[in-house]
């Protein structure tokens, strides 16, 4: 089958393209912006890419157009597909019909931690020689790729609550029909498509309706929102984590190691280098889900000692003159809080310079702006890139006083960081996008600054 994928350079659609190619299909695709690293990854797989939405792309005569949720009505290629009654489907629907239908699907849903927890779960299964397929919204460093297809029954998928396509406004995850599902947490997000938290809870309720009675729901026991979802109907056993019952994690020691308990019985001790309570929560959820698929808790715990995290999750991008620069995907106030708290626990009293780009659709709408000051309190200095926002970032961050500054020019922001940073500092960049390559720009500027100082 020949598939032509619209929006192929997105993380999900790019992963789907790789899986379709591995399944033996001919794959081509297009996107508004075709650029590395995704374009390089896809071309290395033999996938021909087209820049833009020109309607002439129908001349490649695919058997099916697979439409990403970046595509809207008015898109010239999509309008031609509709006018000529050509076959099309969404990415999640194609995946469900052609890959997941005969798999034991292990899905990871929630507002935060989906990518990291999916990576942990895939690694646990892989380390246990179960060779799972997976589609993850990031690059787990244990694997070096975000998606793969295998001939085993097991498939781990990051289950996003964002809508499926312009013609299917259900959340992506309702298509996956998991046997094992992790519900990491549930907060308000995606203000561009959901009017309130209740609307997202409805989508999670729809997900719960698809889990079979002999499946398992692994749920965050601290979340009242998830309990409201269950109150609307529950047909599957639940194991809770992070609360007072079920799966719990002990406090981490200075090295980050911690004990795992199930119903108060010690299961083992995780020894790793990851930081933060959010990662301990991710770990116990992944261990519980892997156990349902047949991996003993002790084996899963041992596997996590070799887990290497996901790129862009507290990833050290470099250090110059004892100034360490990190890259992190945090963009929601809760994620910003937990990321900063984790780094603070690691570095103690050392200075943290937090650099934030409010880039997500929810952030651009200003829905979460009132929560930003509290989320950033663990940082010593805050630098916000406020360009292209529909609200005044300086006004929103005013409660932080002189410790917060806002810039609409990236070069000026980098220059100020070079002037302010001193040996022993930790510079934490937080954005769900590329942030204009600020990490490399800062490291280069620091190199030049200290080399010139030596001369």
pLDDT tens track for 344-380: 988 899 999 999 998 777 777 777 888 889 999 999 9
Please tell me whether residue 123 adopts helix, strand or coil conformation: helix
Q: What is the pLDDT of residues 127-173, one digit of tens each?
A: 999 999 999 988 898 998 889 999 999 999 999 999 999 999 999 99
Reference 111, options 194, 28, 44, 16; nearest CA is 194
Q: 327-344, pLDDT tens digit by residue? A: 988 778 888 898 898 889
Do 153 and 175 meet the contact criterion of CB atoms below 8 Å apart?
A: no
Residue entry with tokens 């040996």: 423
Q: How many CB atoms lie within 10 A of CB 422?
A: 11
Residues 145 and 294 in one domain: yes
Is 97 domain-assigned?
Answer: no
Regarding whether 159 and 28 lie in a shared domain, the answer is no
Mean of per-residue pLDDT scores for the chain: 92
Q: Are 149 and 137 in contact (CB under 8 A)?
A: no
Axis-axis angle for helices 114-127, 297-304 (nearest 10):
110
Structural tokens at position 218: 């692994």
Backbone angles phi, psi at 419, to 5 degrees: -70, -35
Residue 425: CB atoms within 10 A of its CB come to 20
Tell me the HSE value of 209 on the side-chain side, using a 13 A CA sphere: 10
Is residue 406 domain-resident?
yes
Pairing of strands 352-356, 258-262: unpaired
Provide the H-helix boundaries in 45-176. 76-83, 91-95, 114-127
CB 159 within 8 A of CB 114: yes
Mean pLDDT over residues 115-133, rounded? 97
Q: Do 79 and 122 fall within a single domain?
A: no
- Give me the mean pLDDT over the 417-440 stretch: 90
Q: Which two tokens stand for residue 55?
A: 């309607």
Cα–Cα–Cα angle for 173, 235, 117, rounded to 5 degrees = 40
Same domain, 165 and 282: yes
Final residue belonging to a domain, choices 90, 115, 132: 90
User: pTM, whole model, 2 decimals?
Assistant: 0.84
Range of the structural domain that residue 327 is part of: 315-454
How confident is the model at residue 38, as a pLDDT? 76
How distant is the alpha carbon of residue 155 from its chain centre? Answer: 17
The SS3 of residue 173 is helix
Domain contains 200:
yes
Share above pLDDT 70 across residues of the chain, in percent, rounded to a whole number = 99
Are 358 and 439 in the same domain? Answer: yes
Answer whether residue 96 is part of any domain.
no
Structure tokens at 450: 């200290």
Q: What is the pLDDT of residues 40-62, one digit of tens each?
A: 888 888 999 999 999 999 999 99
In-domain check, residue 415:
yes
- The CA distance from 347 to 240, in Å, is 31
Residues 186 and 263 in one domain: yes
For the cut 60, the answer to whether the pLDDT of residue 453 exceeds it is no
Q: Based on the domain organization, do 270 and 381 belong to the same domain?
A: no
Q: What integer is the mean pLDDT of 27-38? A: 84
User: Chain centroid to CA 101: how far?
Assistant: 24
DSSP string of 300-340? HHHHHTT---BTTSSEEEEEETTEEEEEE---SHHHHHHHH
Residues 67/89, Cβ–Cβ less than 8 Å: yes
Report if residue 27 sits inside a domain.
yes
Specify the pLDDT at position 452. Answer: 64
pLDDT at 361: 73
- The pLDDT value recorded for residue 192 is 81
Q: How far apart are CA 445 and CA 412, in angstroms?
A: 12
182, two tokens: 């992790």
11/146 same-domain check: no
pLDDT-wise least confident of 19-23, 27-31, 142-146: 142-146
Quote the radius of gyration of the chain (alpha carbons, Å).
Answer: 22
Q: Is the peptide bond before 37 cis (omega within 30 degrees of 0)?
A: yes
> Residue 73 sits in a domain of what CATH number?
3.40.50.720
pLDDT in tens, 243-262: 988 999 998 888 889 999 99
pLDDT, position 329 = 81
* Domain-embedded: residue 60: yes
Domain ends where: 60, 90, 120?
Answer: 90
Q: 80 to each of 69, 88, 94, 240, how far by Cα in Å?
A: 17, 12, 21, 48
Closest of 162, 123, 94, 442 to residue 310, by C-alpha: 123
pLDDT of residue 209: 97
- pLDDT over 60 at 454, yes or no: no
Instruction: Assess contact for 261 and 267: CB atoms under 8 A.
Output: yes
**pLDDT greater than 90 at residue 179:** yes
Is pLDDT above 70 for 455?
A: no
- The token pair at 382 is 């805050």
For residue 309, tell me if it sits in a domain.
no
Residues 172 and 44 in one domain: no
30 and 50 in a common domain: yes
Please tell me whether residues 30 and 154 are part of one structural domain. Answer: no
pLDDT category of residue 36 using cuts at 50, 70 and 90: low
Task: Identify whether residues 149 and 229 lie together within a single domain.
Answer: yes
CATH number of residue 229's parent domain: 3.40.1190.10
CATH number at residue 432: 3.90.190.20
| Structure tokens belonging to residue 341 | 């708290």
Both tokens of residue 100? 């997941």
Domain count, the chain: 3
């Amino acid at each position: 089958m020949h598939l032509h994928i619209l929006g192929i350079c997105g993380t999900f659609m790019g992963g789907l393209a790789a899986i379709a190619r591995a399944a033996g299909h001919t794959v081509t695709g297009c996107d508004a912006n075709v650029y590395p690293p995704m374009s390089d990854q896809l071309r290395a797989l033999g996938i021909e890419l087209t820049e833009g939405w020109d309607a002439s792309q129908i001349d490649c005569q695919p058997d099916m157009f697979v439409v990403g949720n970046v595509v809207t009505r008015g898109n010239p290629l999509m309008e031609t597909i509709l006018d000529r009654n050509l076959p099309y489907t969404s990415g999640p629907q194609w995946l469900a019909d052609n890959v997941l239908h005969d798999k034991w699907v292990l899905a990871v849903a929630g507002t935060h931690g989906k990518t990291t927890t999916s990576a942990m779960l895939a690694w646990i299964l892989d380390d246990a020689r179960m060779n799972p397929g997976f589609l993850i919204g990031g690059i787990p460093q244990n694997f070096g790729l975000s998606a793969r297809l295998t001939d085993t029954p097991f498939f781990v998928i990051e289950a996003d609550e964002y809508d499926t396509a312009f013609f299917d406004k259900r959340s992506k995850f309702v298509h996956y029909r998991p046997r094992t599902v992790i519900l990491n947490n549930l907060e308000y997000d995606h203000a561009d498509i959901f009017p309130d938290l209740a609307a997202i809870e409805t989508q999670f309720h729809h997900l719960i309706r698809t889990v079979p009675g002999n499946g398992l729901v692994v749920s965050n026991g601290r979340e009242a929102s998830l309990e409201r979802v269950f109150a609307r109907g529950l047909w599957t056993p639940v194991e809770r984590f992070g609360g007072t019952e079920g799966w719990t994690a002990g406090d981490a020691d200075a090295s980050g190691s911690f004990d795992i308990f199930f119903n108060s019985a010690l299961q083992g001790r995780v020894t790793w280098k990851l930081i933060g309570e959010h990662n301990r929560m991710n770990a116990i959820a992944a261990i519980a889900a892997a156990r349902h698929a047949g991996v003993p808790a002790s084996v899963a715990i041992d596997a996590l000692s070799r887990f290497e995290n996901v790129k862009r999750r507290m990833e050290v991008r470099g250090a110059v003159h004892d100034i360490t620069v990190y890259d992190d995907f945090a963009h929601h106030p809760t994620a910003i809080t937990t990321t900063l708290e984790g780094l603070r626990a690691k570095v103690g009293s050392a200075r943290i310079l937090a650099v934030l780009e409010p880039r997500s659709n929810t952030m651009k709408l200003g829905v979460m702006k009132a929560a930003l000051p509290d989320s950033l309190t663990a940082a010593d200095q805050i630098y916000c890139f406020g360009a292209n926002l529909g609200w005044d970032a300086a006004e929103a961050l005013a409660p932080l006083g002189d410790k917060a500054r806002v810039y609409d020019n990236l070069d000026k922001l980098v220059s100020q960081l070079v002037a302010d940073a001193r040996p022993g500092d930790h510079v934490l960049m937080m954005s769900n996008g590329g942030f204009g390559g600020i990490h490399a720009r800062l490291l280069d500027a620091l190199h030049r600054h200290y080399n010139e100082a030596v001369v």
